[in-house]
Structure 1
Amino acid sequence: MPGEAKKSDYIVDKVVEKKLANGLTVLFYPYEREDVVTVKLCVKVGSAYENEKQAGITHLIEHMIFKGTESKKPEDIVGEIEALGGYMNAFTSFDYTCYYTTGPTKILEKSLDILSDIVFHPYFDPKELEREKEVVVEEMKMRLDNPHVVLFEEVMKASYQKYPYRRPIIGYEETVRSLKREDLLSFINQFYTPENMVLSVVGKVPQDELLSLINKFFTNLPKRKLKKVKFPEEPFTEKPKLVWVERPVKEGYFVFTLPGVSFREEDAPLLDLLVQALGGGESSRLYVRLKRELNLVKTISISAFSPVGPGLIEIYGTADQEKFKDIVSHLITELEEIKNLGVTEEELKKAKVQLISDFVFDAETSDGLSNTLSFFQLKRGNYRDILWYKNKIEQATVEDLKEVAKKYFNFDKLVGGFLSEKRLFDEEDFKKLISVKKDSPVKFFTLENKLKVIVYPRKDLPTVGITLAFPGGLRFETPQTNGLFQALTLLWTRGTQKYSAEEISSKLEALGATIKGFSGRNTFGLKALSLSSNFDETLKLFKEILLTPTFKEEECEKARPELISMIFMQEDSPISLAVNQFLKILFSDHPYGLNIAGDLIFYQNFKAEDLRQAYQNFVTPEKAVLTVVGDVDPLILKQKLESYLKDWKASKVRVKEEEEPKLPSQKTQKIKKETFQNQILLGFQTPGLNSKEKLVLEILSSALSGQDGRLFRVLRDERSLAYSVTSFTVFYPKKSAFVFYIGCSPEKEEAAIAGFWEILEEVSKKGLTLEEIERAKNRLLGKLKIGLQSNLAKSEDIAVNEVLNLGWDYSQNYENMLQYIKQEDIQKFIKTYLKKENAVLFILGK
């Protein structure tokens, strides 16, 4: 195993654990990378602790916790954290509920104050409760528009016979609507007790200060008696089960489950290893056999769902609906082969590298570390079991995995779920199919071929992030070539003059590394993540992929269904479909209005030569920026790059940039679609990303969106019109877009649109308050800091900003630039660009 992976021992040894007299467990990790902190308060109660009549109460409480306490109003909760540049949220799982904040370290005291107050002194205002029930019902309807979610919930119901994991965490409309304030308070009193909680803090904060604050806010708490819950034994199904959901979709969706393990069982790490070997990457057994060799699936993944209670093995993906039968039989064949022959030594080695390197990569961010520590403390009862898990992985043998496969691949207990336009076979057919046996100064240099290189050494963790970015992407496409860059970047890594696609995947996974193409609206390129111990080998492979891709015709044919699947899944997602159609109207007859997912006709007809030509035209060093962030020596790296890239020459082709888009002629469009919610978008063309107005637009959007923004407070909290309502921006060099979005029931459509205009007109007349502007700036800065913790994220940020002429240090200077934006700048922006006559309204739904 790579020596750097041993750092997980070091991580565990640095944790400070403390148990308060009231039973509260506190975990503290002194994180030193950035001036950030993550505070997570988790309660060991999830939806599994509910009875049938209470279904959804845990999730509803999670929502209502933010709606005020005995001493705080709703705006004093999330708004206070966002005002300091932090982020606050929560989630409910089957086994536990977590409330957390993350952001600059200055949020620490406020975070502890608020988390303690909302969990131990919630008010649950009856009027707020009725409004929030409506929001949760809207969330349910939103989930009903997602084929993946619908199918998974049906399969979970079939996979568990008695255990409460069979119920959806969100509950049911009738049970949620029936819940009263007294029910919520009773549930809180039964489970929200200190001894039933874990408080984890990962951040750059003094230990003495932290413990003093914890004593201040978590000592004098209400007296509550913890309720003990007895869970049923889960027998699972005794015979194969078939679940079929019929829906008017273009893509086919499948899910298979087998009984798995609880994370408390000794087999849990071994089962993780087994599923990693089977489906963890593009050289894994299932991916190679079912996708690349047999072309039966478009996507396929396998994971171990290992909760506190009985778990599952889950296999899922997408495919052409007529291939469902073949998928079942070939999948069973592959699993049976693993039972009889096991995995290879090479497969085991790759799986070990991938799983153990996850600990190192997660340690890059405070949130990642907090998740890991909380996960083990909640599920195993001790964060130090990280070492138990790592040791089990390191010591596992091929024979161990073979025994695990025999133990858990019991096809008599298989549940198969499918979602398609119509049912293609029955349960008897199904049974027949399965009847088989810290930072240094930034360094810059330019190579002879004019490639600009930026190196940002960070030596605290043994990881390296690499990004090579070029101008390109959607803005350089036409209606006839829409999807070109998606295809180019997908196929870029699938074969070189020296290695086949499978050999590349195999080498990368053995190294615990990734190299992927990326394509967006304004740029495209390659990015890689590597352990520093394997960086040299990863860099050689990166060079090979960059300089000698083959773009073979047979690889194009294999990738074609994968590309087309993006469009189908977009069309199956009302939100994605609506955003795409809206931008098409806003930027009509212009590349900015093209579909980011590509065009079906292009995907059906493009040739390998199209990709080779695009590669020759756009993959040119004088236009590119290469950024390397992490545990590297800049001098040694420079020498290697000069050697590796000396033969990479500039392209002689000069590609013309896009014209400035015109204002749209069509102002309103409605498209009928059978959905549970209508998707409503109202937006405007605004100046481009290189304009001085960019920051003004970002502040405006930040102020209106978020849980303390006007859109959320007015349209969701006060009027209960939707679960999801926000504003967002789409940036291009010549023009950008500012958009309001809401997903709501059809009968709420007029009220939602009127609400958008009401808020916009009020802001236009009175402007944003100074407090709103300050909160918006802090939110933007907090989001930026949180997003740039990992080496790969920082490398991509630097490279893309430099390519787009924003400057490599744009994010570094962001805070200072924001301070120059004043209240009058925002009001002027609204009156200049957000005029009613320039608005575009789009509605998708009934």
Structure 2
Amino acid sequence: MTRSFRWGAAFLFVVLFCSPAFAVTRHVLDNGLVVLLEEMPSSPVTGIYLWVRTGSATESPYIGSGITHFVEHMLFKGTSRRGVGEIPREAKAMGGVINAATGYDHTVFYLSVPGENVLRGMDLLADMVRAPAFDPAEVEREREVILKEGRMLRDNPARQFSEKARERFYQVHPYRYPIIGHEDLFRAITREDLAAYHAAYYAPNNMILSVAGNIDDVEILAQARALLGDVSRASVPLRDLPDEPGKIFAASFVEEYPTDLFRMGFFYPGVPLAHPDLYALDVLAMALGDGESSRLYRDLFEKRRLVDSVDAVNDTPLDRGYFGITTVMREDRSVEVRDRVLAIVQDVQRRGLRSDELKKVRRQVEAMTIRARETAEGMAHRMAMEEAFAGDALFSEKYLAGVRKVTNQDIRRVAREYLRSDRVTSVLFRPPQEEGKDAEGDLLGSPVGVEKKILSNGLTVLMGADRSLPLVSVRLFVPGGMQIDPLPLEGLSTLTARVWDKAFAGKGGALIRREIESRGGAFSVGPGYTADVLSFDCLSQDLPFFLGILRGFLLDPSFPQEDIIREKDRMLTALRARKDSVIQTGLQALKEELFLTHPVRRDPLGTEASLGAMTRQDLLRRYRATLDAGRMVLSVFGDFDPEKVGDILERDLSLIPGTSTEPVRSSEEPPRSPRLRELRMDKEQAAVLYGLRGPTIYDKDLEAMQVAVNVLSSPLGGRMFQRIRDELGKAYTLGG
């Protein structure tokens, strides 16, 4: 994977890459506030980011308490001008989406709004950061909300593994403390502490305002001066954090956690963002652990089946980071995994990467370069992040150039220097051992005209050309879905989808994945209750190649037996992993209680028994049952020639049979009386889930119901959220 920064309680922040030509304007107000602007005339939405250069690593004298995260929460709880609940309501009223996140080195508040409401949106965010109320009663309510958030995070094995690994890897640096804080220290935070911390760090000379969209730079800059220009510059506490010493020996740790899965990670001392070895280490991480053609995936998962997932990341925060390799296993294969990881690393140290691997990574970065400019929110985010972490809102240009210059000699050198087996910290996260055992539409407008074409076999094609970016997105909807699965073979649609895109006649899976990933593209098949969706996104120059891949998967998929076995194992692993989630376990139980016979009640992952009974012939029958061109819809949107693409589709996809069978519609009478199910789990949190029978996609009340659900349950602004979380402080997560 690419290098990353850790976000708030639940975010992973991946650096974005800008294209070589764009017009960012940078201004610094007299009080030190940095203002970054980019005009995007075609964008119907404007992204506004207020970035504060403080995170959980800079909490001294409250280090380890989570006070940064607490302050972030409290800024939503009212100001001198706005009461409790008014901030999310106002954001929603202007058609916006508002949120915030806390990281180790930053706190960020962001709002996306229709372009005509950008000035109102800026006023809302500015009011939040400069005049929070810190009402004592709201402080205590939000304290309980955050305590519930902590319980939710402690019930998440992947999150706990990440935090334990950091705690073991970092010995002195504050990156070792959880962002949400340790509970005893968090409980000791007072209202006065919150106000003092806010006064110390939320100064204009410690903040960045970033705005992108269909904006007028002069107007936005004037609004920034009016809203924040009169705030006085302050003496922000010096960032004086202890240097994490280099490792002088290897260390190994075993942690136990109530889960059915094993997690193992290898963490090597890395570099900070500003280090010149950033580029080579990033390329190495991508080649080792990004995608199904990566070295670790092909060896540990495909070839040896030692793991169920594997990943590599070069984590580069402001201070020293780490190079990490993480795996998930259903059984304890830690010794074998360790040996293979070390062997693969040693091979890179000796021989480096192949030329095709280097080329693939460069192509992936170039594709990401263009995608980073697709949305105003993404641009505003990127500008603020790069200014904060690199001191340069145009850092992505330098980053892309740096990646292009990486040679195989660089790869061998950084692998030898940093990935040393005598300095690695390994962490195994395992289940407890037995005693004695080891261990919305019109507002957005219609910028793209849609052309409808019916192929000779009845397949419907929708095409919309948009030449603003050299990207194309393709989606093929194949009606059927889980509702047509035979009852004894619950999960068949999911297994079919997982194996469908592995190989087709004339092309093996490994070759297909290498060719797809070398072009920076993505191809997938997703199962649903009423339809399967085949989708891909690519650079426009690669569209003919991907249409050929689509043709192969549609007309002659292989469904290799070895992939069927592997995907069955992964689904079994997912079934086990879901046992750790209170919400997911509860949702499945709710469906089973609300629907007694309807296919919606079925578990998309199936059961151990149904997975064991499935054969390759079942997958082939399932595939053939959905192959009906008369009911398929293909959409193509982006930078392409509709006439040429239409000819290709007629030539290639008209071979699909078109029987135009009637769609399957399942029905079941709603419950005549309430039904209740209680499940007991060994967890710190509890979940309450209510299910009501709603309209179908054919019902005239569908849109009204969608609006009602949004009014009740939308994050921050929904009535349930305001009453249960904001007013009563009785829950952390709510939804509908």
The TM tier, using the shorter chain, reads over 0.9
- Residue deviations 1:105-155 (CA, integer Å, cap 9, x gap): 133112211211111111211111111111111000000110001111111
Distance, in Å, in 1 between the alignment partners of 2:351 and 2:261 is 34
- Residue deviations 1:643-694 (CA, integer Å, cap 9, x gap): 2223222359777432335427671111111111111112211221221111
Q: How does 1:420-569 map to 2 (within 5 A)?
A: 420-422=430-432, 439-569=447-577
Confirm or deny: 8 A CA contact 2:307 2:327 kept in the other structure: yes
Q: 1:833 — aligned with what?
A: none
Confirm or deny: 8 A CA contact 1:590 1:661 kept in the other structure: no
Confirm or deny: 8 A CA contact 1:255 1:317 kept in the other structure: yes
Q: 1:19 aligns with which of 1, 9, 28?
A: 28
Q: Is 1:68 the counterpart of 2:78 in the alignment?
A: yes
Percent of pairs with identical residues: 28
- Residue deviations 1:735-791 (CA, integer Å, cap 9, x gap): xxxxxxxxxxxxxxxxxxxxxxxxxxxxxxxxxxxxxxxxxxxxxxxxxxxxxxxxx
Q: Is 1:608 the counterpart of 2:616 in the alignment?
A: yes
Confirm or deny: 8 A CA contact 1:45 1:191 kept in the other structure: yes
Distance, in Å, in 1 between the alignment partners of 2:674 and 2:640 is 53
Q: Is 1:133 the counterpart of 2:136 in the alignment?
A: no
Q: How does 1:787-802 map to 2 (within 5 A)?
A: none
Give 3-state SS (helix, strand or coil) of 1:679's partner.
Answer: coil
What stretches of structure 2 of length at least 5 have no aligned partner?
1-15, 440-445
Confirm or deny: 8 A CA contact 2:488 2:610 kept in the other structure: yes
Give 3-state SS (helix, strand or coil) of 2:101's partner.
Answer: strand
| More divergent stretch after superposition (462-471 vs 184-193) | 184-193
- Residue deviations 1:195-238 (CA, integer Å, cap 9, x gap): 11111101112222212211211211145321112111111543
Q: 1:36 aligns with which of 30, 33, 45?
A: 45
Distance, in Å, in 2 between the alignment partners of 1:376 and 1:403 is 27
Q: 2:96 aligns with which of 83, 86, 93?
A: 86
Distance, in Å, in 2 between the alignment partners of 1:417 and 1:403 is 26
- Residues 625 and 238 (structure 1), Cα distance of their counterparts in 2 relative to 1, 3 Å cut: same
Confirm or deny: 8 A CA contact 1:161 1:237 kept in the other structure: no
Give 3-state SS (helix, strand or coil) of 2:212's partner.
Answer: strand
Q: 1:724 — aligned with what?
A: 733
- Residues 272 and 206 (structure 1), Cα distance of their counterparts in 2 relative to 1, 3 Å cut: same
Confirm or deny: 8 A CA contact 2:17 2:399 kept in the other structure: no
Distance, in Å, in 1 between the alignment partners of 2:657 and 2:263 is 45
Give 3-state SS (helix, strand or coil) of 1:602's partner.
Answer: helix
Q: 1:238 aligns with which of 225, 230, 248?
A: 248
Distance, in Å, in 2 between the alignment partners of 1:536 and 1:317 is 35
Confirm or deny: 8 A CA contact 1:91 1:99 kept in the other structure: yes
Q: CA deviation at 1:32?
A: 2.9
Q: 2:4 — aligned with what?
A: none
More helix by share: 1
Q: 2:112 aligns with which of 80, 102, 118?
A: 102
Amino acid at match of 1:660: E
Distance, in Å, in 2 between the alignment partners of 1:342 and 1:643 is 43
Q: 1:9 aligns with which of 6, 20, 27?
A: 20
Q: 1:314 — aligned with what?
A: 324
Confirm or deny: 8 A CA contact 2:293 2:510 kept in the other structure: yes
Q: 1:305 aligns with which of 299, 315, 318?
A: 315
Give 3-state SS (helix, strand or coil) of 1:460's partner.
Answer: coil
Give 3-state SS (helix, strand or coil) of 1:681's partner.
Answer: coil
- Residues 105 and 74 (structure 1), Cα distance of their counterparts in 2 relative to 1, 3 Å cut: farther
Q: CA deviation at 1:720?
A: 1.3
Confirm or deny: 8 A CA contact 1:588 1:664 kept in the other structure: no
Q: How does 1:188-587 map to 2 (within 5 A)?
A: 188-422=198-432, 439-587=447-595
- Residues 52 and 602 (structure 1), Cα distance of their counterparts in 2 relative to 1, 3 Å cut: farther
- Residues 147 and 52 (structure 1), Cα distance of their counterparts in 2 relative to 1, 3 Å cut: farther
- Residue deviations 1:525-579 (CA, integer Å, cap 9, x gap): 2100100121111221221122211112122112221122221222221111111
Q: 2:719 aligns with which of 700, 710, 716?
A: 710
Confirm or deny: 8 A CA contact 2:490 2:603 kept in the other structure: yes
Confirm or deny: 8 A CA contact 2:489 2:613 kept in the other structure: no
Amino acid at match of 2:577: M
Q: 2:171 — aligned with what?
A: 161
Distance, in Å, in 2 between the alignment partners of 1:460 and 1:681 is 44
Confirm or deny: 8 A CA contact 2:263 2:428 kept in the other structure: yes
Confirm or deny: 8 A CA contact 2:575 2:605 kept in the other structure: yes
Q: 2:134 aligns with which of 101, 124, 133?
A: 124
Distance, in Å, in 2 between the alignment partners of 1:157 and 1:400 is 30
Confirm or deny: 8 A CA contact 1:476 1:658 kept in the other structure: no
Q: How does 1:572-721 map to 2 (within 5 A)?
A: 572-650=580-658, 656-663=664-671, 667-705=675-713, 706-721=715-730
Confirm or deny: 8 A CA contact 1:131 1:719 kept in the other structure: yes
- Residues 261 and 24 (structure 1), Cα distance of their counterparts in 2 relative to 1, 3 Å cut: same
Q: CA deviation at 1:602?
A: 2.0
- Residues 619 and 241 (structure 1), Cα distance of their counterparts in 2 relative to 1, 3 Å cut: farther
Amino acid at match of 2:180: I
Give 3-state SS (helix, strand or coil) of 1:675's partner.
Answer: coil
Amino acid at match of 1:46: G
Aligned residue pairs, count:
713
- Residue deviations 1:485-537 (CA, integer Å, cap 9, x gap): 11111101111111111011000011111111111222212100100121111
| More divergent stretch after superposition (161-170 vs 62-71) | 62-71
Distance, in Å, in 2 between the alignment partners of 1:673 and 1:609 is 38
Q: CA deviation at 1:370?
A: 2.1
Distance, in Å, in 1 between the alignment partners of 2:61 and 2:352 is 42
Give 3-state SS (helix, strand or coil) of 1:685's partner.
Answer: coil
Amino acid at match of 2:475: T
- Residues 452 and 190 (structure 1), Cα distance of their counterparts in 2 relative to 1, 3 Å cut: same
Confirm or deny: 8 A CA contact 1:275 1:303 kept in the other structure: yes
Give 3-state SS (helix, strand or coil) of 1:670's partner.
Answer: coil
Q: CA deviation at 1:379?
A: 0.7
Q: CA deviation at 1:374?
A: 1.8
- Residues 439 and 106 (structure 1), Cα distance of their counterparts in 2 relative to 1, 3 Å cut: closer
RMSD: 2.1
Confirm or deny: 8 A CA contact 1:146 1:573 kept in the other structure: yes
| More divergent stretch after superposition (710-719 vs 233-242) | 233-242
Q: CA deviation at 1:291?
A: 0.3
Confirm or deny: 8 A CA contact 2:269 2:321 kept in the other structure: yes
Distance, in Å, in 2 between the alignment partners of 1:622 and 1:462 is 31
Give 3-state SS (helix, strand or coil) of 1:525's partner.
Answer: strand
Distance, in Å, in 1 between the alignment partners of 2:534 and 2:694 is 30
Q: CA deviation at 1:582?
A: 0.7
- Residues 250 and 651 (structure 1), Cα distance of their counterparts in 2 relative to 1, 3 Å cut: farther
Distance, in Å, in 1 between the alignment partners of 2:360 and 2:193 is 50
Distance, in Å, in 2 between the alignment partners of 1:406 and 1:361 is 33
